[in-house]
Amino acid sequence: MITLILKKTKSLFFFALIGFNCLSCGRYAPPVPPEFTAPPAVVDLDVKPSESAINFSWKAPEKDVRGEPLKNLVGYKIYRAELELGEKLIPNKLKLKEISEVPDKYLKKIIYKREEAKASGTPIRKAKVDESDKNHFFTDSQLKNEQIYVYKIVAFNNIIESQNYDLVRIKFNGLKSVIDLNSAKKIATPEFVDTEEDLLEDAQSS
């Protein structure tokens, strides 16, 4: 009986010692959920038409959704859906299909600059890259005249896509295309009635 008690006491002491070591070493903090380190929406999204295409440009985000410097960014996925004239724009019912990916060119360069600064003893906040490295572009030329399209451009890393994005609605007609950035509200987008009159009215008021 005494031997059994001693064994139990040793076992309890052993597990208590492990628990103490885990707490003291500081290596067992809860992992950060992937959505906390996800990239935010792209920055300064701009859309311009040409005779036969729609041209998108945007800047890379620099911080994750927590406001911390981004550490993981692979690129940007471009999604597109088609709407019939008069069809309502309801975000969670859009049949968006991925049509392209654009690799990010900013994050690797800024991380390299930060490491370079760290190695030389320079404050990391002074690490800079050329502003043009933040610029990214996409052109969609697979379009039909008089067709209404809805786009979203989503930043993603190797774990998760951003849950923050803008929706852009376009009635394509070459240089006369109607581009409605007012429908590019963040993900909680309300319903829109996509008659030609509504689309034109939204664009003119922007």
User: Distance (Å, rounded) from C-alpha 124 to C-alpha 22?
Assistant: 31
- The alpha helices in the chain, defined as continuous H runs, are 2-25, 107-120, 196-204
Residue 11 domain-assigned (yes or no): no
Q: Which structural domain, as residue segments, surrounds residue 96?
A: 31-204
Average confidence (pLDDT) over 96-101: 97
Q: Which residues contact 68 (CB under 8 A, 6 or more apart)?
A: 37
pLDDT at 110: 85
Number of domains present in the structure of the chain: 1
Give the strand pairing for 43-49 and 54-59. Answer: antiparallel
Residue 42 domain-assigned (yes or no): yes
Residue 195 has pLDDT above 70, yes or no: no
pLDDT for 101-112, tens place per residue?
A: 999 999 888 888
pLDDT for 47-94, tens place per residue?
A: 999 999 999 999 999 888 888 888 899 999 999 999 988 888 888 888
Q: Which residue has the higher pLDDT, 197 or 150?
A: 150
pLDDT at 189: 34
Residue 13 domain-assigned (yes or no): no
* Closest of 73, 69, 68, 45 to residue 156, by C-alpha: 73
Residue 194 has pLDDT above 60, yes or no: no
Residue 23 domain-assigned (yes or no): no
Residue 111 domain-assigned (yes or no): yes
